[in-house]
Amino acid sequence: MGLNSERIGRDNLSFILRRVHVVGPQSRSDLTSLLGLNRTTIGSLVRQLESRSLVEEQQMSSSGLPGRPSHVVRVRSDAHLVLALEIQVDSMAVGLFGLGGSLVRSRRIASDPREVGPDETIAQLLGAAREFITDDDRDRIVGVGVGVVGLVRSVDGVVRLGPNLGWTDVPLGAMVRSGLGLDVNVRVGNEADLGGLAEYLRGAARGIDDAIYVSGEVGLGGGIIVKGQLLAGAHGFAGEIGHAVVNPTGMRCACGATGCWETEVGEQALLRAAGITADGNPRRAVNQILEAAASGQPVARAAVEHVGRWLGIGLSSFVNAFNPGVVVFGGLFGRLEPLVEGIVWEELERRALLACRENLAIRPGRYGIDAALYGAAELAFEPLLADPTLAPARGPQSAGSSGRRKTSVVANR
């Protein structure tokens, strides 16, 4: 096979695997018309993916109609796994996922990165991961994805700045790579970008190719999807909408500037609006405010509405700039959304251009606090989806296999 036809073959394998991974089971005839190839070629491509334990085929004969039986191709979610890791401001998580976005299991634990610093935080994360995966899992892991609340440089997975973690220039990708001892790709992405990716591929923004994901906890992260792709910028730092200035006479932000959007809508803003100084457990205080607001308690209600108003004020600029089909609220904002939907719309109607907002939908996210963990799994599968021949072949088709594992540290948004 020449180099060119080898590449075309790989691209076709990639198309089929990505399609069944993201969209779900496909009939052979769907694939035939999608790829514009004949049935024999599709059959051969599917067999190659089967030989690498990436897909399986089922014969569907239930229609009772005459003619050739239909074959349905679906992912095998058990043979190849990815490890997803996540670092937030007050917790960290580990998860194992199979193809098709299927969660095997996950675990979230409390943490305090600000208190213990980056080295200890990453050591805790790696310790949790090592404890979490069994020997059997280890043999099946084909990639690692890491989500972190900070600005991640695409080329090497360095966290240039994590304002709410207190991190500057932390080589997270390299540290995870060397600390885990798994000879697989490690990719690092920004937490809100990965949350946006998960909500776009399988969640509240599914099927809408222009979307904005706005995730709030301590800070505010944004993931912007343009024509089905995450907006990365020149070096991977795009989407930092939480640091857009909305109130120049407002509060000082963790990034050093004054009046960033996140200073008006993050957890601290909600607590401040409710007149609460929660040093011990801000998350519990936030939960109490949300519950009280839902039951109509006036002070909590006013605090939630204050945050909702600033959410709408900030959002109007991004609706004008990106004309999204959907805005998905994740994390704290996902829980806030039902309480503040009317106020957010009030501000959008006052400030966003009619043409930019007239077909807009606003929804809470599907994945809640775990959105970035699901997105990290997608990031970790990306090398295999791009080149399914990275999975080892068995049987007669193993000749020419490029082997299962490719070693590199790649960061991505």
Among residues 260 and 352, whose Cβ is nearest to Zn ion?
260
C-beta closer to Zn ion: residue 43 or 166: 166
Is 412 within 8 Å of 187 (Cβ atoms)? yes
* Sole binder of Zn ion in the list 128, 251, 255, 321 (CB under 5 A): 255
What span, in angstroms and rounded, lies between the C-alpha atoms of 149 and 188? 11
**Nearest distance from C-beta of residue 243 to Zn ion, angstroms:** 4
Of residues 147-186, those binding Zn ion (CB under 5 A): none
Report how far Cα 46 is from the mean position of its chain's Cα atoms.
Answer: 28
Please choose, out of 52-60, 235-243, 367-375, 399-407, the segment that lies near Zn ion by the rule CB under 5 A.
Answer: 235-243
Q: Which amino acid is at 93?
A: A
Residue 61 three-state SS: coil
Nearer to Zn ion, 237 or 345 (CB): 237
Q: Find the part of the chain contacting Zn ion (CB under 5 A) among 98-106, 132-140, 145-153, 246-254.
A: 246-254
Are the C-beta atoms of residues 315 and 347 closer than 8 Å to each other? Answer: yes
Stretch that binds Zn ion, among 117-125, 139-147, 212-220, 248-256 (CB under 5 A): 248-256
Identity of the residue, 253 or 300, whose beta carbon is nearer to Zn ion in the bound complex: 253
Least distance to Zn ion, CB of residue 259, Å: 8
Q: What SS3 state is found at 90?
A: coil
Query: How far apart are CB 257 and Zn ion at their closest, in Å?
Result: 5
Contact pattern from residue 184 through residue 223 relative to Zn ion, giving x for each residue in contact according to CB under 5 A and a dash for the rest: ----------------------------------------
- Phi, psi for 327 (deg, rounded to 5): -115, 125
By C-alpha distance, which of 75, 56, 82 is closest to 140? 82
| In the complex, least distance from residue 290 CB atom to Zn ion, rounded to whole angstroms | 24
- Distance CA(368)–CA(217), nearest Å, equals 11
DSSP at 23: T
Minimum Å gap between C-beta 263 and Zn ion is 7
Q: Which lies closer to Zn ion via its Cβ, residue 120 or residue 169?
A: 169
Nearer to Zn ion, 37 or 257 (CB): 257
Would you say 172 and 162 are in contact if contact means Cβ atoms under 8 Å apart? no
Which H helix or E strand runs over 58?
strand 55-60
| Closest to Zn ion by CB, 53 or 317 | 317
Q: Which range touches Zn ion (CB under 5 A), out of 41-49, 189-197, 260-268, 400-408?
A: 260-268
> Per CB under 5 A, does 243 bind Zn ion?
yes
Side chain identity, residue 193: D
Nearer to Zn ion, 128 or 321 (CB): 321
* Six token digits for residue 39: 């049935």
DSSP 251: P
Smallest separation, CB 260 to Zn ion (Å): 3
Q: Does the footprint of Zn ion cover residue 253 (CB under 5 A)?
A: yes
**Look-up of token digits 């990275």:** 390
Which helix or strand (DSSP H or E) is residue 287 part of? helix 282-294
Size of the residue set binding Zn ion (CB under 5 A): 5
Which residue in 73, 85, 225, 260 binds Zn ion (CB under 5 A)?
Answer: 260
The CA distance from 345 to 166, in Å, is: 34
Of the candidate spans 142-150, 239-247, 285-293, 330-338, the one that interacts with Zn ion by CB under 5 A turns out to be 239-247
Exposure class string for 19-48: b at 16+ Cβ within 10 A, else e: bbbbeebbebebbbeebeeeeeebbebbeb
Residues within the interface to Zn ion (CB under 5 A): 243, 253, 255, 257, 260
